[in-house]
Amino acid sequence: MSGSCCGTGKKFDGMDPQYKKILWIVIAINASMFVVEMLGGALAGSQALKADALDFLGDALTYGISLWAIGKSLSFRANAALLKGASLLLMGAWVLASTIYQFFILQAPVAPVMGSIAVMALLANVTSVLLLMRYKDGDANVRSVWLCSRNDAISNVLVIAASVAVFVTASAWPDLIVAVIMAFIFTRSAMQIIRQALAERREAKTTVCS
């Protein structure tokens, strides 16, 4: 979905009451699933679940920033997107570092608990993705919301696959491998958000909508 500014055909900037309502719903979903997955990750001993739980928390916070940035100047929205991109990079680094630490422990997680909670998380994220689908091509601030939700759904599929592999092999390796993959997904999306945000910040400095 795209919007316009003075007929220039600029990308959708979030100025839609329905979009704001959807953001509140998605924030509530992510905050709830952070609690569920963090508890489940501790119970199952799953690094991938804990990584995904942290992602839910990060998303809830960044979606809040997105909501706050709506209606602000292009420069402000671009800076908000930069902040979210940086936080996603930090999240990827934390997941990678904590997973490297877990390599030295190699304690297999409880696969049934891990899989069950991953399925719940997938349903939550698919719901968020469907709600946000029509807004996926907005500005950096709006697009960052879509990318986070899409990444979450992909991550949940990986965690479910890891839980099956853990059950079959009775090994911690599938859980740790998926956690590393998730760290790289976070990093790749962060770079996409940062590149678009930097381009929009440059545009804000050179273009005045009259």
Confidence of residue 6 (pLDDT cuts 50, 70, 90): very low
Strand partners for 11? 2
pLDDT at 81: 77
Which ranges of the chain would DSSP assign to H, the alpha helix?
17-44, 47-69, 74-102, 111-132, 140-169, 173-206
CA atoms of 189 and 59, how far apart (whole Å):
13
Q: Structure tokens of 126?
A: 């698919």
pLDDT at 207 over 70: no
pLDDT at 99 over 70: yes
pLDDT at 66: 76
Confidence of residue 45 (pLDDT cuts 50, 70, 90): confident
Please state the pTM of the whole predicted model: 0.69
Nearest to 70 by CA among 151, 1, 12: 12
Q: Structure tokens of 189?
A: 């999306």
pLDDT at 141: 67
List of residues 6+ apart from 49 with CB closer than 8 A: 37, 40, 41, 109, 114, 117, 118, 159
List of residues 6+ apart from 28 with CB closer than 8 A: none
Strand partners for 2? 11
CA atoms of 81 and 59, how far apart (whole Å):
12
- Percentage of the chain exceeding pLDDT 90: 6
Confidence of residue 1 (pLDDT cuts 50, 70, 90): very low
3-state secondary structure of 73: coil
- As a residue count, the chain comes to 210
Angle at 64 between CA 194 and CA 180, to 5 degrees: 50
Rounding to the nearest 10 degrees, give the CA dihedral for residues 31, 35, 37, 38: 120
3-state secondary structure of 208: coil
Q: Domain locations in the chain? A: 17-205
Interval 85-110 mean pLDDT? 75
Contact 125, 152 (CB under 8 A): yes
Q: Tokens 């316009």 appear where?
A: 4
